[in-house]
Amino acid sequence: MAQSYYQKEIETMPVDELKKLQSEKLVKQVKHVYENVAYYRNLMDEKGVKPEDIKGIEDLYKLPFISKADLRDAYPTGMLAVPMSECVRIHSTSGTTGRRVVAFYTQNDIDLWEDCCARAIVAAGGTKDDICQVGYGYGLFTGGFGLNGGSQKVGCLTLPMSSGNTERQIQFMMDLKSTILCCTPSYAAYLGESLKEQGYTADTIPLKAGIFGAEPWTEEMRKNIEATLGIKAYDIYGLTETSGPGVAFECCEQTGMHINEDHFIAEIIDPDTGEVLPEGEKGELVFTALDKEAFPLLRYRTRDICVLSRKKCSCGRTLIKMAKPMGRTDDMLIIRGVNVFPSQIETVLLKEGYEPNYQIVVDRVNNNDTFDVNVEISPDKFTDMVSEILAMEKTLANAMKIMLGINPSVHLVAPKSIARSEGKAVRVVDKRKLI
Ligand code: ADP
Ligand code: ZN
């Protein structure tokens, strides 16, 4: 397929020019942050770095990192770099109370973010003649609004379906003949299964392309989705902290995602030492946002593990590519699109009077995540009565649902029956084989 571009001059800009552009923007952005965000100014002062020390991207390494913990510390407005009256929107990560990160946007921030999403849609072959069905959630989650904005910028007829309601998704897809589908890969697979059950085949489904992201997915899953829906499936990456999806997107090569380097500088660091690693080495992805006004981020540690490559791409884009993230540096699980930390399960167990002896088992059956939590019953709670066991399981499941926002199946098991390796319990068994 011949490649089209949404912003050709940027997407195909010679690398040395791109780096010059990044340098100019970085100098300005550091000044903006230092002057307007006390939290980051303190971090810079602690490190003895002044805005004048940053003369270009070669000085980036001098700046302090920020982490999710910093953003939580600064919740809700501590990272805000413009007056609230300049902001037109917020979005938020899907974390539970206390873990949420709230990101603010000026109109310009929204514009640039939507441009990034528009680049992704055009790279997937989208034009103004397309009908783009957006099945990401609308609301605080960034996916729906981001792709919606990008789709309108491209000029596609945009169907703001939001997530879920599979019957309605299928009805609109068929009646309006959607050609592009944007949603999470697991939902795309689920929709594919549902279409198949209703007798639709790759030939009778009007879609030609899909833009799927917000969670990890494998090449195997890509092949399945492509075959079932009769489409090309493209990956898209982003996080709320960096605006949302569209930080990086796949082109016709489908061998990694081009990072929108005019807006973001990507670094790979050793997660243990913080040392910057050379291109091609695996490590933690760090982003510096160059244009964000309301919620700027300098050297933000994403915790996503990945590799960058500047190998020439056949699509003509010069933007560096990131491989699919290969997991995270922390123990966070994404189950049905929701962040789950083992520590949250532990908190519930302790509160409900259980020992923290548990194991989370996650699997993917028929393209849906299953979520089981096995909990060792403490001897003082032991009973032969099935009804009592069931009631205890239900109480625990409800408490976890309140904490996590999603419903696990809780199973009480005999004391000491959960496998321990070297004395430690194995907390997570992820059978989804996503990495
Ligand atoms: P939350 O942090 O609440 O999940 P985000 O939607 O901001 O909210 O999630 C961002 C995270 O989702 C990323 O850091 C990454 O781990 C994951 N992610 C997003 N897109 C992809 C993708 N295409 N492939 C793998 N992981 C992804
Ligand atoms: Zn490319």
How does pLDDT run across 113-149, given as a tens digit for each residue?
A: 999 999 999 999 999 999 999 999 999 989 999 999 9
pLDDT at residue 424 in the model: 43
pTM for the full predicted model:
0.81
pLDDT at residue 94 in the model: 63
Find the 147 Cα to ligand 2 centroid distance in Å.
Answer: 20
Separation CA 150–CA 31 (nearest Å)? 30
How does pLDDT run across 387-398, given as a tens digit for each residue?
A: 999 999 999 999
> Helical H runs in 140-218?
142-154, 166-176, 185-197
Please name which ligand lies nearest the alpha carbon of 323: 1
Residue carrying structure tokens 């995602």: 257
- Ligand 1 atom 1 nearest Cα: 93
Q: For the chain, what percent of residues have pLDDT higher than 90?
A: 72
**Number of neighbours of residue 329 by Cβ within 10 angstroms:** 15
Taking the alpha carbons at both ends of the chain, their separation in whole angstroms is 29
* Per-residue CA distances from 255 to 69, 210, 358 (Å): 32, 15, 39
Please name which ligand lies nearest the alpha carbon of 214: 1
Domains, the chain: 1-328 (3.40.50.12780), 333-430 (3.30.300.30)
User: Cβ-count burial of 9 within 10 angstroms (0-12 exposed, 13-18 middle, 19+ buried)?
Assistant: exposed
Check residues 299 and 354 and name the one with the higher pLDDT.
Answer: 299
Which residues keep their CB under 5 angstroms from ion ligand 2? 251, 253, 313, 315, 317
* Per-residue CA distances from 133 to 159, 169, 181, 316 (Å): 5, 8, 5, 27
pLDDT at residue 113 in the model: 98
How does pLDDT run across 205-232, given as a tens digit for each residue?
A: 999 999 999 877 878 779 889 999 999 9
- Ligand 1 atom 11 nearest Cα: 239
- Ligand 1 atom 9 nearest Cα: 239
Task: Kindly state the average pLDDT of the residues 2-29.
Answer: 96
CB-ligand 1 contact for 95 (6 Å cutoff) = yes
